[in-house]
Amino acid sequence: MFNFFKKEEFKIVSPTDGTLIPLGEVPDQMFSQKMMGDGFAVIPAANTIVAPLSGTAESVFPTGHAVGIKTKDGIECIVHIGLDTVELNGDGFRPLVHQGDKVKAGQPIVEIERQKIEDKGYQTVTMVVFPAGYDHAFNLGKKATNAGEVLVK
């Protein structure tokens, strides 16, 4: 009758609209060789990046290019927007959450100026990697996806 204490079902959703690709296709060895953990990537077609899972924003980089999220079950996830985009010092990124904020899967966490970033010569491919707590393989293939679309249950 009342679902006050109903546990939210675990899910991983797409961080943005675009093309889902295997992590191995990201043109950066740190990600493609899974040095930071397994995961997946999306080549964005939009400017909004959403939380791929529910948890707490454990780290929100001042530059806005990356957000670390940890679930209450200890699963750690890093959303990394673009390649070498830390060099932009936040230009083209607007974080929508702060360290310590609770986030829900599908909730906007960063707004980007995709065209501006790309015009400066940076790729905006967005990686979602799991450095700890989640040891399942990601065999999601290559396909169109939408922000908040459930990829893993």
Q: Which residues are known catalytic residues? A: 80
47, 147 contact by CB (below 8 A): no
Cα four-point dihedral sign 2, 7, 13, 15: positive
Tokens of 67: 């957000």
Exposure string of 56-79, with b = 16+ CB inside 10 Å and e = fewer, is bbeebbebbbbbbbbbeeebbbbb
Tell me which residue has tokens 């950066």: 28
